[in-house]
Amino acid sequence: MNGTGILKGLGVTLKHFIQTYVDDIRYGGRKYLGMENFEVRQGLKAQGAFTVQYPDEKIAVPERFRFVPFLVVNEDDHPDAPGKDWCTSCGICAKVCPPQCIWIVRSEDPVTKRPVPEPEAFFIDIDICMNCGYCAEFCPFDAIKMDHDYELADFDRTGTHIHDKPKLSKPYEYYYNIAPTTAAEEAQARGGWEHPDVIKAKKKSGEPVMEQPWFMLRAEDPEARARAEAERAAKAAAAAESTVSEADIAAERQARRAEALARHRAWAAKKN
């Protein structure tokens, strides 16, 4: 009979419509509250409408999610080398980067002019970055990792979208928090929770490697925590005293960029 097909189809629509309310009743209005309900509502058991009320609620991204790289550095209160870059400026990330959005200035010893294994400057143009994750995948030192913060909307791309080293650097603690499973796997592959070079040196000298990442040790050891807090307080006091303002920092960044640009122009002019 003509029209039965349409009616059958409309039945499906009706089913979806009713299911939405069945779900609401099942959770007694708590559908939008609590993590457990969220997991069901956004899982395979979900029926009816399962929209997410962004930005009042957001689906947290999985551990392997990749979005714009950042550089792993030691925590500021790290006992061995506070704030030290994990990056050795070996340049593999810059070489493997498909859109070539990474620029690294390798440090040089001012006297001998020999390369020093740490970056003097590090730039990532996030307008060019295609979030492929190769830099993190091929970094032999686990020093560059993909971030999870995808909310990067901005009013002006020209001044802010080339991330420099201060902006890129994030403590290991941050990395561990966004990707604990992956971080643990990598630490196992490295043979410890520290930078691979540190682990190698420690094993050579017989010094014990850290059993846990520093921020965990710190949390467990009240003495270390007190020391760290004192250090942080001292640093904050120094920062409060210092006359360096946000604007100064921005100006300094701008100057560094201008310098790099001038260098590039000179190089390009020489090449042509």
Q: Which residues, numbered 68-127, are part of the site for other proteins (CB under 8 A)?
A: 89, 91-92, 94-98, 100, 102-106, 115, 121-123, 125, 127
Query: In whole angstroms, how close is the CB of 1 to other proteins at the nearest point?
Result: 10
Backbone angles phi, psi at 68, to 5 degrees: 55, 125
Query: In whole angstroms, how close is the CB of 192 to other proteins at the nearest point?
Result: 19
Q: How far apart are CA 32 and CA 231, in angstroms?
A: 43
Q: Are strands 144-147 and 67-73 parallel, antiparallel or unpaired?
A: antiparallel
Q: CA–CA distance from 65 to each of 61, 99, 132, 145, 262 (Å)?
A: 6, 19, 10, 11, 36
Return the number of the residue (135 or 198) whose C-beta is nearest other proteins: 135
Query: In whole angstroms, how close is the CB of 91 to other proteins at the nearest point?
Result: 4
Q: Exposed/middle/buried for 170, CB within 10 Å: 0-12, 13-18, 19+?
A: middle
Q: How far apart are CA 132 and CA 7, in angstroms?
A: 47
Looking at residues 46 to 65 of the shown chain, list those that interact with other proteins (rule: CB under 8 A).
50, 55-65
Looking at residues 166 to 225 of the shown chain, list those that interact with other proteins (rule: CB under 8 A).
177-181
Q: What is the DSSP letter of 210?
A: P
Residue from 38, 173, 202, 253 touching other proteins (CB under 8 A): that is 38
Residues near 92 by Cβ (< 8 Å), separated by ≥ 6? 138, 139, 140
By CB under 8 A, the count of residues binding other proteins is 76
Query: In whole angstroms, how close is the CB of 221 to other proteins at the nearest point?
Result: 25
Return the number of the residue (28 or 62) whose C-beta is nearest other proteins: 62
Return the number of the residue (165 or 218) whose C-beta is nearest other proteins: 165
Query: In whole angstroms, how close is the CB of 236 to other proteins at the nearest point?
Result: 24
Contact flag: residue 243 with other proteins (CB under 8 A): no
Least Cα distance to 159 among 63, 271, 260, 253 occurs for 253
Residue from 25, 28, 112, 151 touching other proteins (CB under 8 A): that is 151
**Using CA of residue 64, residue 69, residue 71, residue 77, what is the dihedral sign?**
negative
Return the number of the residue (30 or 64) whose C-beta is nearest other proteins: 64
